[in-house]
Chain A
Amino acid sequence: MKWLSLLPLGLILFLSGCSELAVLDPKGPVARSQKDLIMFSIIFMLLIIVVIFGLFTYMVVKYRDRPGRGNKDYDPNIHGNTKLEVVWTIIPLIIIIVLSVPNVQTLFELEKPPEKASDKEPLVIYATSADWKWFFSYPEQDIETVNYLHIPTDRAIEFRMSSADSMQALWIPVLGGQKYTMAGMETKLYLQADEPGVYKGRNANFNGEGFTKQTFEVYAESDETFSEWVKETQNNAPDLTQDKYNELLKPGLLNEMTFSSTHLQWVHHGMMEGRDYAIKRHRDEYKELLHLENGKGTGHHDK
């Protein structure tokens, strides 16, 4: 039983290694509040585990049928103990209540922009997912990017999300948890970055062959750098024409691209009117496979 005393030490070592993990290494207030909630729940869960594992080990070791045990401590007719049963109903109930309070609080907080940046209006970005790429439209700046994202730090980002076709999800683990994107509906997600850096984002909800490759990079940078990037893009990037947009919507993979106008002028996939826009145009494309393999496979339909 001596090795059991090493358990807490092992757990500390183990958990200290976890700070490398994306979700437990937040770069913004949303991910941080979620991390805090996760760590808070882990404390209670470890408590439960220690109690049950301890009792379990004790019972199995002490009451196993070993030679020479005789009838000591053996009582086949115990059929219950109401007091004990009430105790082990009430304690979990209390734990659940204790966990529910911060959980519900956080849930309501996540529906608003993070408080820290309340002096600045959130930056609105329309995130549109399509099989198997991302369109990010900045209506204020009149910019659209494909498969990458520039955001200023210390300012809330209000994602207005929808999908052009199948159901997908926007997830940037170090900035905070995900939400689904659906055609004909608009979901809102507030995220914010504190530190400049390049972060990974992706679609987290399975949507067919190109799913694995549907990732994007998030460039979080200071206000000035962000403004510079906006200006440069407005001046240098080509306009997005409707024909070009329709071409890009076709199921398949795309590289990063930049445009100095947005697709919102023709279609908003988050509205009822816009939800069959892509399907009407590209229904036939789904009959062909991408033939996606590692190192091979074009990501485009072969005909």
Chain B
Amino acid sequence: MQWDEFFVTGEPLIYGAMVSIALVSAAIMFTLFYFKKWGWLWREWLTTVDHKRIGIMYIISALAMLFRGGMDALMLRTQLAFPDMNFLSAQHYDEIFTTHGTIMIIFMAMPFLIGLMNIVVPLQIGARDVAFPYLNALSFWSFFFGAMLFNISFVIGGSPDAGWTSYTPLAGAAMNPGPGQNFYLLGLQLSGIGTLATGINFMVTIIKMRAPGMKMFQMPIFSWSTLVTSFIIVFAFPILTVALALMTIDRIFGSQFFTLTGEGMPMMWVNLFWMWGHPEVYIVVLPAFGIFSEIISTFARKQLFGYKAMVLSMIVIAGLSFLVWVHHFFTMGMGAFVNSVFSISTMLIAVPTGVKIFNWLGTLHKGRIQLTTPMLWSLAFIPSFVIGGVTGVMLGMAAADYQFHNSYFLVAHFHYVLISGTVFACFAGLVYWYPKMFGHKLNEKLGKLSLWFFVIGFHVCFFPQYFVGLDGMPRRVFTIMPEWMPLNVISTVGAFGMGAGFAIFVYSIYYSLRYNEREKTGDSWDGRTLEWATPTPVPFYNFATVPKVDGPDAFLAMKEKGETTFEEEKLEPIHMPSSTGQPIIMMSFMFIASFGLVFEWIWMAVAGLIAGIIMMAIRSFDYDDGFYVKVDEIKRTERKVRGL
């Protein structure tokens, strides 16, 4: 193999990216060596099994991916602003929209939410860690290495270019030779393993590890949304795993599952993909609903309105999410009856979703609404999501969908629901729980500024796309017709507005780190749920004494009764898991194996796989049961962080 087949060449944009990757990596290495931080990084972060630190690593990675996916988006919008733009060629454009979609869903939205779950859920239910801390670290590193594998594709080997849905036969070996599509398959496969493990982990954590007395229907709503999401993950992800594996075998070993030749069934991929892909949409939206519910209740200073209806509607949505996948290919000629069934089941999702919207409005009713940054993100979500939701019902009407299908109307719809649902929630949740993570709030002024740029930019960007879609503009075209120009120019301006919002947000992190006041109490927003019952920074064992729960809004009740989570006379030694380097090492071997498969270097794949299996064997003979934190040490830590 030649070097120019290994590295991507010929694109000035990509040379620029290569140089900046090299510079940033060198700067990080230099800093770590100069300040002698390697040991610290290894001990405190890379080998940690603490759910809070793993959560923080998830969120940092997700923010980096948001930056990458956002840069992709800006390049796409620049190319589409004017007819006959020559900024990107057709091939380069195809690669960029493929990576934009994949990264935003798989490597940004999901990890961001899983990061927040990691930080918050054990605290909210009064647990000291997740059920399987070692597995949790393994999950993170599998996501991390999967994301890295996918990301290097644009400088090494070439990016996938068949869209994030990668329909066969287009994505098969015959029409799409080369390593690009393999990066997609193995990047998703590697990180998918971790997601599945996370689903199992949180399912067990929430069912088995709630604080004494906390009944299922007294659990904070975000924990509920995490539980429902975990069920979706556990039922949906195996489908993706199988589908990806089949296509990988097709491409690398020449089988005929999804090919046009032999007995292949290309349409089976479309079915499998969406049987996972539709529930996936709710994997990234339900936790977001949970976040909004927490925030709206906190800052309206009221109990959540219709708590049981909120929970039940999430369960109904989760169930329906598995019954509607066919609406992604209404136009496949399945006949009127099949389309009618899936059309009606699709529209039915609007009912539980509507219940949630009205319940949020009910929560605002007779409240005392404080317009903090996280609350503003949550309030901005409601009208935006309603627009996305009603256009979703329009798309769900199969007879009308024949005209909307694969057009910009669809693009506008799913950006409306995914950005206002998920991205707003990520920002809202990060700002809301930031003091719990880092011991200080984010600057409110900068936060609001970034919000206005982002929210206004969002509407300016995506609202015109409904109309350009009705004018017959299909998605994924790399250049536009002159009659579509005015709306596309507006849309591009909006996209850059969102970019500015993100930049201000990142700046606010830096600014707040330097100038914002440190938190002392740990209860930054006068919260209602147990995560606010811990001091800040949260000790690694979370609760010195685990609270007893006998109602909803457990921390609010504790505050009223004057209880704390630090009762010196009740202290007992706490059992905690030990840090371990095994997860990162095991997953780096899996990374090597996957990289070998991408280039079809079987020797490398086999070597990596064997090393991975050896690591698993080592783990199975590992008798480290963790350690006990002594009462003295708990006392010392708690007194220090509580300023006693």
- A contact set with B: CB distance below 8 Å: 18, 20-24, 31, 33-34, 37-38, 41-42, 45, 48-49, 52-53, 55-56, 59-60, 63-65, 69, 73-81, 84-85, 88-89, 92-93, 96, 99-100, 103-104, 106-108, 110-111, 131, 165-167, 169, 171, 173-174, 176-180, 182-185, 187-189, 200, 202, 204-212, 275-276, 279-280, 283, 286-287, 289-297
Report Cα–Cα, A177/B301, bound state, in Å: 49
What are some 8 contacts across the A-B interface (CB < 8 A)?
Answer: A64-B371, A92-B355, A167-B170, A173-B471, A173-B472, A202-B472, A212-B479, A292-B90
Tell whether, in the assembled complex, residue B266 and residue A49 are in contact, meaning their CB atoms are under 8 Å apart.
no
- Supposing A183-B260, A290-B91, A293-B89 touch, asked if A48 and B403 sit within 8 A by C-beta, the answer is no
In angstroms, how far is the closest chain A Cβ from the Cβ of B470? Answer: 4
* In-complex Cβ contact of A63 among B357, B365, B400 (8 A): B365
Question: Which A-B residue pairs are the 3 nearest by beta carbons?
Answer: A177-B402, A187-B333, A106-B399
Verify if B23 is at the interface (C-beta below 8 Å from A).
no
Task: List residues of B (120-156) whose CB comes within 8 Å of A's CBs.
Answer: none
Tell whether, in the assembled complex, residue B471 and residue A292 are in contact, meaning their CB atoms are under 8 Å apart.
no
Tell whether, in the assembled complex, residue A167 and residue B474 are in contact, meaning their CB atoms are under 8 Å apart.
no
- Supposing A34-B403, A110-B399, A293-B90 touch, asked if A80 and B470 sit within 8 A by C-beta, the answer is no
In angstroms, how far is the closest chain A Cβ from the Cβ of B5? Answer: 12
Verify if B9 is at the interface (C-beta below 8 Å from A).
no
Verify if B212 is at the interface (C-beta below 8 Å from A).
no
Tell whether, in the assembled complex, residue B176 and residue A286 are in contact, meaning their CB atoms are under 8 Å apart.
yes
Report Cα–Cα, A52/B340, bound state, in Å: 28
- Supposing A49-B387, A63-B366, A291-B91 touch, asked if A22 and B400 sit within 8 A by C-beta, the answer is no
Tell whether, in the assembled complex, residue B368 and residue A207 are in contact, meaning their CB atoms are under 8 Å apart.
no
Tell whether, in the assembled complex, residue B367 and residue A74 are in contact, meaning their CB atoms are under 8 Å apart.
yes
* In-complex Cβ contact of B405 among A37, A111, A177, A286 (8 A): A177
In angstroms, how far is the closest chain B Cβ from the Cβ of A79? Answer: 5
With a cutoff of 8 Å between Cβ atoms, the chain B residues found around residue A88 in the complex are: 354-355, 358
Tell whether, in the assembled complex, residue A23 and residue B470 are in contact, meaning their CB atoms are under 8 Å apart.
yes
Verify if B347 is at the interface (C-beta below 8 Å from A).
yes
With a cutoff of 8 Å between Cβ atoms, the chain B residues found around residue A295 in the complex are: 84, 86
Most B CB atoms within 10 A — which of A33, A78, A200? A78
With a cutoff of 8 Å between Cβ atoms, the chain A residues found around residue B398 in the complex are: 103, 107
- Supposing A81-B362, A96-B350 touch, asked if A45 and B336 sit within 8 A by C-beta, the answer is no
Task: List residues of B (335-362) whose CB comes within 8 Å of A's CBs.
Answer: 335-336, 339-340, 343-344, 347-348, 350-351, 354-355, 357-359, 361-362
Q: A45-B390, A77-B303, A166-B167 are in contact. List 19 more A-B contacts (CB 8 A).
A: A20-B471, A22-B470, A23-B403, A23-B472, A34-B400, A49-B387, A59-B369, A64-B369, A74-B301, A89-B354, A92-B354, A99-B393, A166-B170, A169-B331, A171-B474, A173-B403, A184-B260, A206-B406, A208-B170
Report Cα–Cα, A55/B479, bound state, in Å: 41
Verify if B518 is at the interface (C-beta below 8 Å from A).
no
Tell whether, in the assembled complex, residue A103 and residue B400 are in contact, meaning their CB atoms are under 8 Å apart.
yes
Verify if B174 is at the interface (C-beta below 8 Å from A).
yes
Report Cα–Cα, A251/B162, bound state, in Å: 16
Tell whether, in the assembled complex, residue B85 and residue A294 are in contact, meaning their CB atoms are under 8 Å apart.
yes
Report Cα–Cα, A234/B595, bound state, in Å: 57
Verify if B477 is at the interface (C-beta below 8 Å from A).
yes
Tell whether, in the assembled complex, residue B393 and residue A41 are in contact, meaning their CB atoms are under 8 Å apart.
yes
Report Cα–Cα, A20/B383, bound state, in Å: 27
In angstroms, how far is the closest chain A Cβ from the Cβ of B421? Answer: 15
Tell whether, in the assembled complex, residue A204 and residue B332 are in contact, meaning their CB atoms are under 8 Å apart.
no
Residue in B closest to A183 when the chains form the complex, CB atoms: B260
In angstroms, how far is the closest chain A Cβ from the Cβ of B455? Answer: 14
Tell whether, in the assembled complex, residue A80 and residue B175 are in contact, meaning their CB atoms are under 8 Å apart.
no
Report Cα–Cα, A145/B86, bound state, in Å: 31
Tell whether, in the assembled complex, residue A81 and residue B306 are in contact, meaning their CB atoms are under 8 Å apart.
yes
Verify if B379 is at the interface (C-beta below 8 Å from A).
yes
Report Cα–Cα, A154/B91, bound state, in Å: 41
Verify if B415 is at the interface (C-beta below 8 Å from A).
no
Interface size on B, residues (CB 8 A): 91
Verify if B68 is at the interface (C-beta below 8 Å from A).
no
Residue in A closest to B394 when the chains form the complex, CB atoms: A41
Report Cα–Cα, A212/B89, bound state, in Å: 11
Tell whether, in the assembled complex, residue A85 and residue B359 are in contact, meaning their CB atoms are under 8 Å apart.
yes
* In-complex Cβ contact of A283 among B174, B302, B344 (8 A): B174
With a cutoff of 8 Å between Cβ atoms, the chain A residues found around residue B162 in the complex are: 206, 208
* In-complex Cβ contact of B344 among A80, A100, A165, A212 (8 A): A100
Tell whether, in the assembled complex, residue B90 and residue A209 are in contact, meaning their CB atoms are under 8 Å apart.
yes
Tell whether, in the assembled complex, residue A78 and residue B84 are in contact, meaning their CB atoms are under 8 Å apart.
no
Tell whether, in the assembled complex, residue B86 and residue A296 are in contact, meaning their CB atoms are under 8 Å apart.
yes
Residue in A closest to B84 when the chains form the complex, CB atoms: A294
Tell whether, in the assembled complex, residue A78 and residue B302 are in contact, meaning their CB atoms are under 8 Å apart.
yes
Tell whether, in the assembled complex, residue B329 and residue A180 are in contact, meaning their CB atoms are under 8 Å apart.
yes
In angstroms, how far is the closest chain B Cβ from the Cβ of A248? Answer: 18
Tell whether, in the assembled complex, residue A169 and residue B405 are in contact, meaning their CB atoms are under 8 Å apart.
yes
Report Cα–Cα, A218/B170, bound state, in Å: 27
Report Cα–Cα, A285/B315, bound state, in Å: 49
With a cutoff of 8 Å between Cβ atoms, the chain B residues found around residue A45 in the complex are: 390-391, 393-394
- Supposing A24-B470, A37-B397, A45-B393 touch, asked if A110 and B336 sit within 8 A by C-beta, the answer is yes
Report Cα–Cα, A53/B390, bound state, in Å: 13
With a cutoff of 8 Å between Cβ atoms, the chain B residues found around residue A208 in the complex are: 94, 161-162, 170, 175-176
Tell whether, in the assembled complex, residue A167 and residue B344 are in contact, meaning their CB atoms are under 8 Å apart.
no
- Supposing A103-B343, A111-B335, A293-B90 touch, asked if A96 and B351 sit within 8 A by C-beta, the answer is yes
Tell whether, in the assembled complex, residue A21 and residue B368 are in contact, meaning their CB atoms are under 8 Å apart.
no
In angstroms, how far is the closest chain B Cβ from the Cβ of A61? Answer: 10
With a cutoff of 8 Å between Cβ atoms, the chain A residues found around residue B347 in the complex are: 96, 99-100
Task: List residues of B (617-643) whose CB comes within 8 Å of A's CBs.
Answer: none
Residue in A closest to B261 when the chains form the complex, CB atoms: A276
Task: List residues of B (54-90) whose CB comes within 8 Å of A's CBs.
Answer: 84-86, 89-90
In angstroms, how far is the closest chain B Cβ from the Cβ of A174? Answer: 8
With a cutoff of 8 Å between Cβ atoms, the chain A residues found around residue B175 in the complex are: 131, 165-166, 208, 279, 286
Tell whether, in the assembled complex, residue B309 and residue A80 are in contact, meaning their CB atoms are under 8 Å apart.
yes
With a cutoff of 8 Å between Cβ atoms, the chain B residues found around residue A171 in the complex are: 406, 472, 474
With a cutoff of 8 Å between Cβ atoms, the chain A residues found around residue B176 in the complex are: 208, 286
In angstroms, how far is the closest chain B Cβ from the Cβ of A158? Answer: 13
Residue in B closest to A17 when the chains form the complex, CB atoms: B467
Report Cα–Cα, A59/B474, bound state, in Å: 39
* In-complex Cβ contact of B331 among A76, A85, A93, A180 (8 A): A180
With a cutoff of 8 Å between Cβ atoms, the chain A residues found around residue B301 in the complex are: 65, 74, 76
Verify if B294 is at the interface (C-beta below 8 Å from A).
no
Tell whether, in the assembled complex, residue B369 and residue A65 are in contact, meaning their CB atoms are under 8 Å apart.
yes
With a cutoff of 8 Å between Cβ atoms, the chain A residues found around residue B305 in the complex are: 78-81
With a cutoff of 8 Å between Cβ atoms, the chain A residues found around residue B366 in the complex are: 63, 73-75, 78
- Supposing A178-B406, A200-B472 touch, asked if A297 and B351 sit within 8 A by C-beta, the answer is no
In angstroms, how far is the closest chain A Cβ from the Cβ of B274? Answer: 14
Report Cα–Cα, A200/B472, bound state, in Å: 9
With a cutoff of 8 Å between Cβ atoms, the chain A residues found around residue B308 in the complex are: 80
Contact with A along B206-230 (1 / 0, CB 8 A): 0000000000000000000000000
Verify if B163 is at the interface (C-beta below 8 Å from A).
yes
Tell whether, in the assembled complex, residue B351 and residue A92 are in contact, meaning their CB atoms are under 8 Å apart.
yes
In angstroms, how far is the closest chain A Cβ from the Cβ of B75? Answer: 15
With a cutoff of 8 Å between Cβ atoms, the chain A residues found around residue B471 in the complex are: 20-23, 173
Tell whether, in the assembled complex, residue B170 and residue A207 are in contact, meaning their CB atoms are under 8 Å apart.
yes
Residue in B closest to A59 when the chains form the complex, CB atoms: B364
Residue in B closest to A104 when the chains form the complex, CB atoms: B340
Task: List residues of B (391-416) whose CB comes within 8 Å of A's CBs.
Answer: 391, 393-394, 397-403, 405-407
Tell whether, in the assembled complex, residue A279 and residue B261 are in contact, meaning their CB atoms are under 8 Å apart.
yes
Report Cα–Cα, A211/B162, bound state, in Å: 11
* In-complex Cβ contact of B368 among A69, A183, A283, A293 (8 A): A69
Report Cα–Cα, A115/B470, bound state, in Å: 25
* In-complex Cβ contact of A49 among B90, B386, B397 (8 A): B386
* In-complex Cβ contact of A179 among B161, B332, B357, B470 (8 A): B332
With a cutoff of 8 Å between Cβ atoms, the chain A residues found around residue B383 in the complex are: 52-53, 56
Contact with A along B276-315 (1 / 0, CB 8 A): 0000000000000000000000001111111111000000
With a cutoff of 8 Å between Cβ atoms, the chain B residues found around residue A279 in the complex are: 169, 174-175, 260-261
